[in-house]
Structure 1
Amino acid sequence: MADLRPLLFMFLHLACFIIFYTSHHRPKPPSPTNLKPISSTWSSSFSFIKRIFSSKSTLPPDHHLPTRPGSDYLPLRNQTEIHPCPNCGEIFQKPGSLEQHQSIKHAVCEMSDDDPGKNVVRIIFGSGWPGEAPTIHRVMKIHNSPKILTRFEEYRESVKMKAARHGGPRPRCIADGNELLRFHCTTFMCDLGQNGNSTICSQQYCSVCGIIESGFSPKLDGISTLPNSWKGHVAVPQDIEEEFRFMGLKRAMLVCRVIAGRVGCDPGMSEKDDPGYDSLVGAGSGAARDRLDEEDELIVFNPRAVLPCFVIVYTV
């Protein structure tokens, strides 16, 4: 019996230690402040699920997104708008790029023999020649860009407003700016319109392509427009084609819409001298009037007043 006491004492000591440890190290129940309501937890979980199946992008911010070469360093996910060219189908991401493409690559189109408008243009061009009418090789319709068309119409409105302010018997000026159909002869150096080529060139001395692309130069002292193609033809030196044949220079006639406005008669007078006049007739013409005679040369000083509509390639 005396031999069992140390053993009993040891078990008693061990039991006391276990009871003491469990009573001081038992996990405490969470306090009310540490608990999250079940409804809040479910709400956050549901929101997470919605974000997964949402159609909105969950990509990182824009500055972490990859970019596409030639896309002006815009994020790929912003490149959703496309603008296809109706002529060739090429895709552009900006309307300005499409407009520039069309104004260069599809600037003109050759009119076919089945087009009734081609016959009208041929008749207008052939009238007024003293002898045999020239040989027409092709007639091209110009597709003016929206920018050039807007400039033309804005100039018309300014002429109409000015005519209304000045008063007087000018019904044509107030109605449509005194718009006329005129001819302007010039030259070109490329194969525009040949074999379906609708692209204007970038050669410095190709006048037709330069006029189609950006209109008449504002640096000119005046833009001469003639009442018929014969007058326009003789306004250009007869030997110009022979002289510059080595450069491939050819002659072309532009059929233009012209806003004449109020017409003056003094060739030495400019629009700055008398703001009431919008254009001038050539030397030897009569008094100022709103209607020109058939033989008058009309000189306009604002390039926005002339809108080329057709190109006629011909030889005499």
Structure 2
Amino acid sequence: MSNLYTLLDVSFLKNSIVHQIPSPASSTRSLSIIPPDIQSTTRPGSLTESDYLPIRNEIHPCLNCGEIFKKPGLLEQHQSIKHAVCELLDDDPGKNIVQIIFTTGWPGKGPVISRIMKIHNSPKILAQFEEYRESVKSKAAQPGGSRLRDERCIADGNELLRFYCATFLCDLGQNGNSNICGNQYCSVCEIIGSGFSPKLDGISTLSNSWRGHVASPEDIEDEFGFMNVKRAMIVCRVIAGRVGCDPRSGDKDDPGYDSLVGREPGASQTRLDEEDELIVFNPRAVLPCFVIVYAA
């Protein structure tokens, strides 16, 4: 992974991954429908701009499709479902970056990529991710805490680039389809729409896509072919925070660690290596950024 970060400037990588979703201030820009003659008149007894305030600021257009909503919350919900992803085309400079990240570490010719999709995370999910980062930084800066990797924790929450393999059932991203489905068994759409489940004992993230691929059942597409199950790789930004390296002491409720190295018992390492599995306890610490549909 160190070679990958050498190849790709870290700041550019983060700028490529952070999704430029229109802010609520811009995407929910209100449309004034007050007639010009009413705006300019001040005749006694005539209607003024204040008489129109109940209906002003109640029109919120979607900048992607033009659909109109009366409340900003409805617009945000619409965008998070109907415009959740967009496919990266060949002329998009970010596509080549993601391809390099994805194919690094694969043996032989590597996987065949069908499409790469950029995730448009909702403002709520983005805010939760950044709030969690700040909480990790704050804890790391407190005196008397563990000093292991605290410098990184204080700087950026010890953010890492990790991979998570999941399945999906719909035609996400195919032929310009940008909306997520509502099928409860479609894991990719569930993660994009709601984030990772807090019911999980931990979210297993891997250092490269090859390790993420082999961590999932090899015959999953064949076994669940009747459901049209397909495999996809999710590229994630992960706030690792303080990393515990002893699997026997791992506890999602232990305030001493934010994540844990998934290592075989008896291993002597005392730090997170490139080939290690990283188990993250808090779902807010994982931000899905790209979905890659592939075959191997």
Q: TM-score, normalised by structure 2?
A: 0.80
Is 1:146 matched with 2:132?
A: no
Q: Which residue of 2 aligns with 1:218?
A: 198
Q: Which residue of 2 aligns with 1:161?
A: 138
Alpha-carbon deviation of 1:122?
0.5
Structure 2 unaligned residues grouped into runs of 5+: 1-41
Is 1:251 matched with 2:231?
A: yes
Q: Percent identity?
A: 72
Corresponding residue pairs, total = 248
The superposition leaves residues 24-64 of structure 1 with CA deviations (integer Å, 9 ceiling, x where unpaired) of xxxxxxxxxxxxxxxxxxxxxxxxx9543342688xxxxxx
**Correspondence for 2:253 among 261, 272, 281:** 272
Q: What residue identity is the alignment partner of 2:46?
A: F
Counterparts in 2 of 1:143 and 1:55: CA distance versus 1, 3 Å: same
* 3-state SS of 1:242 partner: helix
Instruction: Note if contact 1:188-1:207 (Cα within 8 Å) is conserved in structure 2.
Output: yes
Instruction: Note if contact 1:281-1:298 (Cα within 8 Å) is conserved in structure 2.
Output: yes
Structure 1 unaligned residues grouped into runs of 5+: 1-48, 59-75
> Which structure would you say has the larger Rg?
1
Q: Which residue of 2 aligns with 1:114?
A: 91
Q: What residue identity is the alignment partner of 2:48?
A: S
CA–CA distance in structure 1, aligned partners of residues 180 and 202 of structure 2: 24
Alpha-carbon deviation of 1:282?
0.9
Q: Which residue of 2 aligns with 1:209?
A: 189
Instruction: Note if contact 1:262-1:278 (Cα within 8 Å) is conserved in structure 2.
Output: yes
CA–CA distance in structure 2, aligned partners of residues 215 and 242 of structure 1: 27
- What is the CA RMSD across the aligned residues, in angstroms? 1.7
**Correspondence for 1:52 among 41, 45, 65:** 45
Is 1:178 matched with 2:158?
A: yes
CA–CA distance in structure 1, aligned partners of residues 49 and 212 of structure 2: 63
Counterparts in 2 of 1:120 and 1:50: CA distance versus 1, 3 Å: closer
Higher relative contact order (CA 8 A, sep 6+): 2
Q: What residue identity is the alignment partner of 1:272?
A: D
CA–CA distance in structure 2, aligned partners of residues 266 and 313 of structure 1: 34
CA–CA distance in structure 1, aligned partners of residues 53 and 257 of structure 2: 55
**Correspondence for 1:79 among 40, 55, 59:** 55
Alpha-carbon deviation of 1:288?
4.2
**Correspondence for 2:284 among 287, 296, 304:** 304
Alpha-carbon deviation of 1:271?
3.4
The superposition leaves residues 126-158 of structure 1 with CA deviations (integer Å, 9 ceiling, x where unpaired) of 110122211000000000000000000000011
* 3-state SS of 2:128 partner: helix
Instruction: Note if contact 1:111-1:139 (Cα within 8 Å) is conserved in structure 2.
Output: yes
Instruction: Note if contact 1:79-1:93 (Cα within 8 Å) is conserved in structure 2.
Output: no
CA–CA distance in structure 2, aligned partners of residues 57 and 182 of structure 1: 53
Counterparts in 2 of 1:203 and 1:276: CA distance versus 1, 3 Å: same
Q: What residue identity is the alignment partner of 1:146?
A: P
CA–CA distance in structure 1, aligned partners of residues 268 and 77 of structure 2: 44
Alignment of 1:32-111 (within 5 A): 50-55=43-48, 78-81=54-57, 82-111=59-88
CA–CA distance in structure 1, aligned partners of residues 220 and 62 of structure 2: 38
